[in-house]
A and B are shown apart, each in its own frame.
Chain A
Amino acid sequence: AQKVTQAQTEISVVEKEDVTLDCVYETRDTTYYLFWYKQPPSGELVFLIRRNSFDEQNEISGRYSWNFQKSTSSFNFTITASQVVDSAVYFCALRSGNTDKLIFGTGTRLQVFP
């Protein structure tokens, strides 16, 4: 079975704090892709990153970084020096096997206070 678990329902931080959003996935396929999307209050899902199962290198993009660990089936997302504009719901998603279907987690609502 394929599943994505985001155990953190809601996180609140003060601006400039670092925050990590957890994502744990389940799949029996050896080839799969992991994604993070941001959903601001406007409702549109914004693509942040894609990672394939053969590439465990961590990635950094500005204040965002991602830690992919196959040994623990995790794909965690860290925001450094958070800003109010980072306030949104963040979704982790999995695509595996011969399908386009994205399996989403339940999301983590991040609130950044000034």
Chain B
Amino acid sequence: EAGVAQSPRYKIIEKRQSVAFWCNPISGHATLYWYQQILGQGPKLLIQFQNNGVVDDSQLPKDRFSAERLKGVDSTLKIQPAKLEDSAVYLCASSSTWGQGSSYSYNEQFFGPGTRLTVL
């Protein structure tokens, strides 16, 4: 089974430029996550989708970050304009977690290789 795919693997931009990352989850996984991992820290959740709906974006800096998951499969995360502090690895994860309330079923998150962003 193919894992979570991400591209590009590396990106270097100057501050105030814009950048976009792409993620293709494991086939059939309804839930997709974007995490930000700053050097020396653990990953921090930015946004979670279930199918094409947003479940949690409470830690997404919405003034500059946006994400979408059209058709409930692939997802893109965009930063516009980038700041120096956005330098980090952006990890995408997916899981077969689905449902709400009593029908909720949680399953492990599987991570992609990440995109390392450097903002100069």
In the complex, residue of chain B having the shortest beta-carbon distance to the beta carbon of A4? B42
Is there an interface contact between A44 and B113, defined as CB atoms closer than 8 Å?
yes
A42 at the interface (CB under 8 A from B): yes
Chain B residues lying within 8 Å of A101, measured Cβ to Cβ, are 45, 48, 56
B114 CB contact (under 8 Å) in A43, A99, A107: A43
A93 at the interface (CB under 8 A from B): yes
B42 CB contact (under 8 Å) in A47, A100, A105: A105
**Complex CA–CA separation, A99 to B58 (angstroms):** 12
Is there an interface contact between B42 and A99, defined as CB atoms closer than 8 Å?
no
Is there an interface contact between B108 and A45, defined as CB atoms closer than 8 Å?
no
A-B contact count (CB 8 A): 55
Is there an interface contact between A100 and B55, defined as CB atoms closer than 8 Å?
yes
Query: Scoring A residues 44 to 67 as 1 if CB is less than 8 Å from chain B, else 0, what string do you get?
Result: 111100100000000000000000
A68 at the interface (CB under 8 A from B): no
Q: Count A interface residues, CB 8 Å.
A: 22
- Contacts A44-B111, A45-B91 hold; do A102 and B116 have CB atoms under 8 A apart? no
Size bracket, chain B contacts: 20 to 34
B110 at the interface (CB under 8 A from A): yes
A20 at the interface (CB under 8 A from B): no
Chain B residues lying within 8 Å of A4, measured Cβ to Cβ, are 42
B44 at the interface (CB under 8 A from A): yes
Is there an interface contact between B42 and A106, defined as CB atoms closer than 8 Å?
yes
A104 at the interface (CB under 8 A from B): yes
Q: Smallest CB–CB gap between B101 and chain A, Å?
A: 9
10 A-B pairs besides A93-B42, A99-B56 with CB distance below 8 A are: A4-B42, A44-B111, A47-B109, A95-B106, A100-B31, A100-B97, A100-B109, A104-B43, A104-B44, A106-B41
A interface list, Cβ under 8 A from B: 4, 33, 35, 37, 42-47, 50, 91, 93, 95, 99-102, 104-107
